[in-house]
Structure 1
Amino acid sequence: MISDPELDGAGETRPAQPAERTQGPPPRVREAGGAGARRPWLWALGGAALASAVWASGLYALGDRLAAPQVSYRATENLCQDFEARALSGIAGDLHRYRSANRHNDHPAVRRAICVLQNGESVSTFTVRAQVDLHRKTDPGPEFDVPSDWLLVEAGGAGGRTEEVRGLGERALLLVGPREGSVELRVLHGGAVFAVLADGTGGEGSTPADTGRLRAAVVEDARALMTALKE
């Protein structure tokens, strides 16, 4: 940027001097508490926000060439109020007892709402993430089989198994991570995609030992959420 000439003495002007170059990279700002103190919901929402912006923009660009899907669910600006998580709370303790993280994004192509719950304030052993995507421009069916980054990265990497769940939406897939205690349920119904992800990170008395019980709880809470948002 070119600056105005500097004033020198009694009104005389002199050319502006070029700014001095800073030696070395700028100093790094350390987060309070260190990297290990980052709470689970900050990663869950931050990553989702970036992915949402890129992904939704791509869908919006294709929107005019694809038929808009039918959406029979209402949008929500506070998913944590609609997502009660009663079954999962029966496993991990009252998930609404501690501070929740809520986010929504009203994009022309995809309206997204996210809620993250955990069973502790600063330290938790169980995290649940619910997400609702209402697609306005494109059919989400072709991309429905793609597993989320959460399951591939946060829940132990590639591997695990996928199971079909009958009687829930048009299609429902249950993805179990390579290690027990990490489950993601995804449900497709018209232009709506629901996802409920549960991850137990260890801790006596907090992490479900029976993955079968966890799977059943995820399905039950997802079904209740779909009923709550049904128009």
Structure 2
Amino acid sequence: MISEPELEGSSEPMRGAGGTVEPAGPRPAVRRPAWAWALAGAAVASALWAGGLYVVHALGEKGPPLRYAHTGALCEKFDPAALRAVVGNVGAEREDTERRHAALDTAYCTMSTAATPEQLGSGQPYYQYRVGVLVERHKNTDPRTEFEVDPRRDLWSAATPDEVEGLGERALMTNDVRDGPRLRVLDGGVVLTVDVSWYWVAPDENTGEEGPERQPDWEAVKTAMVKDTATLLGALRTR
């Protein structure tokens, strides 16, 4: 019996019952199809491209331009003077929230009107208004590619937004009878959203289901939103 080391190390012809068996000659070269080499090249190129992206991001790739400051006191920056002239004492009640993140900074301010002594004493229904202001600073991704998509509004409304001139790079006003108008402004990596909504209150439980006789003036509210948003953009702008 021939052991494995002998098989591996022997250079002599192998002998069997039928005589000498000559060792096989060199194997013919295997020809790979051209597409196999192309796939191999593509895999290498893909790996190099991915590695290049990793290096770029590791070194700190610049995101979209940020021309507006982040603030934890957005309610102090937002002066709803135009809205106050239309709907009353907006800002009597207010609340600030904010969050900082490596990819996205958010600041949110909510303001609402408070019932006046005259409204409470009249026994008649009246409207209360709520204003919400959201500032998003996108540090890595460019929000311009998805600006027209507004999931918070699109889930409830099929209304087509109107273009508003003179605010940032682009501004859209959405009219929604259910919630009230929404104004969204895009400028670089910053998206600013202003919402105005209202509901009526009956101080007297015997008032019934009918709301106030005077309905909110939609056009006046939207015009005031544009003015107050322009003022806020100016207050937050850094360059």
- Matched residue type, 1:160: A
Q: C-alpha distance in 2, partners of 1:103/1:206?
A: 35
TM-score of the pair, normalised by structure 2 = 0.61
Give the percent of matched residue pairs that are identical in Structure 1 and Structure 2.
29
CA contact (8 A) 1:159 1:178 kept: no
- 1:142–1:134 Cα change, 3 Å: same
Shift of 1:95: 1.5
Shift of 1:160: 2.7
How big is each residue's C-alpha offset from its partner over 1:148-185, in whole Å with a ceiling of 9 and x where there is no partner?
52x356xxx22333100112110100011144x70000
Cα deviation, 1:18-71, whole Å, max 9, x if unaligned, reads xxxxxxxxxxxxxxxxxxxxxxxxxxxxxxxxxxxxxxxxxxxxx949750011
Q: Determine the C-alpha separation between the residues in 1 that align with 2:103 and 2:230.
A: 25
Q: Indicate the RMSD between aligned Cα atoms, in angstroms.
A: 2.6
- In structure 2, runs of 5+ residues without a counterpart are 1-55, 116-125, 202-210
TM-score, L = length of structure 1: 0.63
Residue 120 (structure 1) aligned with residue 120 (structure 2): no
- Residues 1:104 and 2:98 are matched in the alignment: yes
Query: What one-letter code is carried by the residue in structure 1 that aligns with 2:225?
Result: V
What's 1:198 paired with?
A: 196
Which residue of the partner structure matches residue 186 of structure 2? 188
The higher radius of gyration belongs to: 2
Q: Of residues 138, 141, 153 in structure 2, which corresponds to 1:138?
A: 141
Partner of 1:95: 90
Alignment gaps of 5+ in structure 1: 1-62
Hey, what does 2:158 align to over in structure 1? 159
Kept in 2, the 8 Å contact 1:93–1:206? The answer is: no
Alpha-carbon spacing, 1:206–1:191, altered in 2? closer, same or farther (3 Å):
farther
- The answer to whether the Cα contact below 8 Å between 1:166 and 1:172 also exists between their aligned partners in 2 is yes
1:76 equivalenced with 2:81 (yes/no): no
CA contact (8 A) 1:67 1:138 kept: no
Count of equivalent residues: 162
CA distance in 2, matches of 1:187, 1:220: 13
Partners of 2:87 and 2:112 in 1: CA distance: 9
- Amino acid paired to 1:119: T
